[in-house]
Amino acid sequence: MSVRLPRASKPTTAMAAAALPLHPIPHRKLPPTSPSASMRQLCKEGDLREAIRLLAARSAPGRAPPTEHYGWVLDLVAARGAFAQGRQVHAHAVATGSLRDDDGGVLATKLLFMYGKCGRLAEARRLFDGMPARTVFSWNALIGACLSSGSSREAVGVYRAMRSSEPGPAPAPAPDGCTLASVLKACGAEGDGRSGSEVHTLAVKRGLDRSTLVANALVGMYAKCGLLDSALRVFEWMRDGRDVASWNSAISGCLQNGMFLEALDLFRRMQSAGFSMNSYTTVGVLQVCAELAQLNHGRELHAALLKCGTEFNIQCNALLVMYAKCGRVDCALRVFREIDDKDYISWNSMLSCYVQNGLYAEAIDFFGEMVQDGFEPDHACIVSLSSAVGHLGRLINGREVHAYAMKQRLDSDLQVANTLMDMYIKCNSVECSACVFDRMKIKDHVSWTTIMACYAQSSRYSEAIEKFRAAQKDGINVDPMMMGSILEVTSGLKNISLLKQVHSYAMRNGLLDLVLKNRIIDTYGECGEVCYALNIFEMLERKDIVTWTSMINCYANNSLLNEAVALFAKMQNAGIRPDSVALVSILGAIAGLSSLTKGKEVHGFLIRGKFPMEGAIVSSLVDMYSGCGSMSYAFKVFDEAKSKDVVLWTAMINASGMHGHGKQAIDIFKRMLETGVSPDHVSFLALLYACSHSKLVEEGKFYLDMMVIKYRLQPWQEHYACVVDLLGRSGRTEEAYEFIKSMPVEPKSVVWCALLGACRVHKNHELAVVATDKLLELEPANAGNYVLVSNVFAEMGRWNNVKEVRTRMTERGLRKDPACSWIEIGNSIHTFTARDHSHRDSQAIHLKLAEITDKLRKEAGYSEDTGFVLHDVSEEEKIDLLHGHSERLAIAFGLISTSSGSPLRIAKNLRVCGDCHEFTKLVSKLFEREIVVRDANRFHHFSGGSCSCGDFW
């Protein structure tokens, strides 16, 4: 930037037309004091109108008011930001010749200062260009005018022009301390550390760095440029030259750079040095307390303010924010109520406090109070209110907020528009969110990222991709946040090719920060590409807790549960302390493994680490213990939980249902309602699942009606599937089919799969064919569906159809998951597949199995039911196939590896066949063992020759 510096000329009189009249005008009667005293008193009282009248009254042709009178009036104009009156005074000074005779430039400098404070940079520049002589005060005033107008870059440009004209024919005066302090402020605002360092060099060269004003400005400049080390070096160098502003600058610098503990340490040093804090100190330290959630320190500061009786609005607002961030809404509200003169910041801070602490309904009620009190909502208020409405999912209220924003023309604000979009997303209104986006004249990367996330979360993936391409065409710089939205698309589509393209794009454009790398690991895992995820994980030199957790989740979600547990142990060995998210993830993997020993170890870690037993942790513990077959431990954790949310209640309902205790699940559901907790979709799904596995037909139908009629929850496909399964497994397959035909939505594969499973159990072959056709039509790429259809045809003896189905599987590249069972002995998991001979104790296991089978035949009359072998082979081969089932090998290994009377806990990835079910009942009786088996559907507790499922599973 260049500043025009022509040869000085006399100012024109073009403004004279707007000048104050030279003849006296009527005004209030003044006290009999000297003219200077009268003018000074009026300006001190802030009576601008009378001051201007007096200035005009004491003007006459050939006699101008003293320069100091102009100065007092202009100071008052500047303080008021009264540009129109300032322009009149300027014109008056031209008309009376005061500006022409202003040889020292004092009046012109005062005018410059006034224009700057009024934000009129153009007028200040024109005046400066016409000045016959420019003093250092004139230059400082112009630099100040640039700063007041938000033109920091121009302020630096003026300073450079001043420096470049120093050695010229009409040299500019040398910069003084005020010059350097102002320019350093401009450099800080621009983040221009290089120019700031040059100014620092000049200050040292001319000895101005010893000035406290300049030194404080240096601290502030370096801090704002992110050079905190340099800022603190200057601060430490100051030593005896420090004042309160010096300490405030250093504390503020630490705050700006996220060094909150260092800021707190500086405050303590400041107190030790005997400095009293002012309002700026208070606000800074309260911000530290808020960021560090140091409630006790904040309270101490609050007490000190009360003791001194120096609570100003700025301090009260800071106190309010501190209490809000520390989660003490009650204290924040008390501070708010005690503020006599509430400003916009007070109201908005209290509203934001409610939203930040999840009190969304209270936030909406508080907004009503704001409006009743005469407060006119601004854009910050609309942002908070939209957030509250969005979290509550109140679409009608959301539209009202949007309408108000449009009426007040606040919707043109970029932040408001972005928040409205997010609000509509949370209210599940994609079209309204898209409408807001389309109306926006200016869109930033947040706008584009939000609309992409909107489409991605609504499974409208093609539209999300179109917006991504449109953003690039619009010149929007793609950042890691936007990449996160497009990764959500690839995850939803399970499109590995697109994921690789996105990954490559991020690499080429240097967007791969650690957060995005962690997200990519997650996405590869969600797409089933564990090897790619592992490659990224292993290549990372620096791994944080999120990285480890992402990889653990990747293993767990792809059924590599042993690998997940092993990686968790490796993480601990690497010195990474698990957080609550990592512990929830590993508890899920342990539940999948049914590893009670490892589950207890993690529970012990949680207790030793003093993790709060609430929220996701306590729910995961209940899931883990129930998944490991220990309902007693699950109930103990549940009963000891002080706060029970809907997730925890649902976990306990699901646990009871999974173990075949349907009536118990209903009792828990009733207890939940009695405590005032409202059920959600998942709660009803767990309850219907429990009814399904306990043959509670009427109860299941009752709770489906309750869900729709009383709680107005639209059932998911899974809810309908539970009812179909409930009816079908009870032998009412035709009624189940009629129920499907009466569904208000088109039934999907999960519903037809439930019907087909019931038809297989109850030999309804005609209806099974209908379900088969629908199932393969809806999900032609699901291997599990082909296996189920093949089994149904096999039971019908239609071997040609079986062969045809298996051929189609092969052509599509689909494979059946091999049956496997596993058992935990000591601290190790032992896994078996059908007819497995890979175990180190394989010979002993098969000998034990033969011994068990022989004993069952002799003492219990056991005879193999080959009807459960769905292969077209001889009877002998069918018997051999039954003997090789994986759960039998696990039982045999358990019997030779544990002491007499010890319970056996076995898990299987598929449904237990009828013959193995009978086999296990007899083993529990003859060998006097409790055997807990978890199959793909539910838990079976075998004891004394019977099963908890009552042969209904």
pLDDT in tens, 711-751: 999 999 999 999 999 999 888 999 999 999 999 999 999 99
252-290, pLDDT tens digit by residue? 989 888 888 898 889 889 888 888 888 888 888 888 888
What is the residue-averaged pLDDT of the chain?
Answer: 89
**Hey, CA dihedral for 926, 931, 933, 938, is it positive or negative?**
positive
Structural tokens at position 658: 């999974």
Taking a C-beta distance cutoff of 8 angstroms, is the pair 452, 438 a contact?
no
Residue 589 has pLDDT above 90, yes or no: yes
**Given the structure tokens 């109201």, which residue do they identify?**
347
Residue 28 has pLDDT above 70, yes or no: no
pLDDT in the model for residue 232: 92
Residue 707: what residue type?
M
pLDDT reported for residue 449? 93
Residue 719, classed as helix, strand or coil, is: helix
User: CA torsion sign, 343 to 344 to 346 to 351?
Assistant: positive
Question: For residues 700 and 307, what is the distance between their CA atoms, to the nearest angstrom?
Answer: 64
- Residue with the larger pLDDT of the pair 868 and 690: 690
pLDDT at 20 over 70: no
Confidence band of 791 (pLDDT split at 50, 70, 90): confident
- Grade residue 329 by pLDDT with cuts at 50, 70 and 90: very high
- Tokens describing residue 565: 């547990």
Question: Measuring CA to CA, which residue among 389, 358, 394, 426 is closest to residue 615?
Answer: 358
Residue 104 pLDDT: 77
pLDDT of residue 503 exceeding 90, the answer is yes
Output the pLDDT for position 167. 60
- Residues whose CB is less than 8 angstroms from the CB of residue 469 and which lie 6 or more positions away in sequence, other chains included: none
Q: Using an 8 Å Cβ cutoff, are 752 and 739 in contact?
A: no
Tens of pLDDT, residues 288-321: 888 888 888 888 888 888 877 665 667 888 899 9
> Which string of DSSP letters, residue by residue, matches 343-359?
-HHHHHHHHHHHHHTT-
- pLDDT for res 309: 66
Residue 715 tokens, joined: 């059932």
**Portion of the chain with pLDDT greater than 90, in percent:** 59
pLDDT in tens, 881-939: 999 999 999 999 999 999 999 999 999 999 899 999 999 999 999 999 999 999 988 89
Residue 812 pLDDT grade (very low, low, confident, very high; cuts 50, 70, 90): confident
If one compares 60 and 321, the residue with the highest pLDDT of the two is 321
What percentage of the chain carries pLDDT values higher than 70? 95
pLDDT at 437: 94
Q: Does pLDDT of 22 surpass 60?
A: no
Q: For residues 718 and 307, what is the distance between their CA atoms, to the nearest angstrom? A: 62
Looking at residues 51-56, what average pLDDT do you find? 85
CB-based contacts of 142, cutoff 8 Å, min separation 6: 112, 116, 124, 125, 128, 158
What pLDDT does 81 receive?
Answer: 87
Report the C-alpha gap between 658 and 932 in whole angstroms.
12
Q: What is the pLDDT of residue 53?
A: 86
pTM above threshold 0.75 = no
Spatial CA neighbour of 131 closest among 161, 155, 107, 158: 107
Q: Pull the structure tokens for residue 895.
A: 């019997």
Is 70 exceeded by the pLDDT of residue 946? Answer: yes
**pLDDT score recorded for residue 702:** 96
Q: Is the pLDDT of residue 92 over 50?
A: yes
Nearest-5° Cα angle at 29, 77 to 79: 10
Alpha-carbon span 269 to 266, nearest angstrom: 5
For 838-847, what is each residue's pLDDT tens digit? Answer: 999 999 999 9
Q: For residues 805-814, give the mean pLDDT.
A: 87
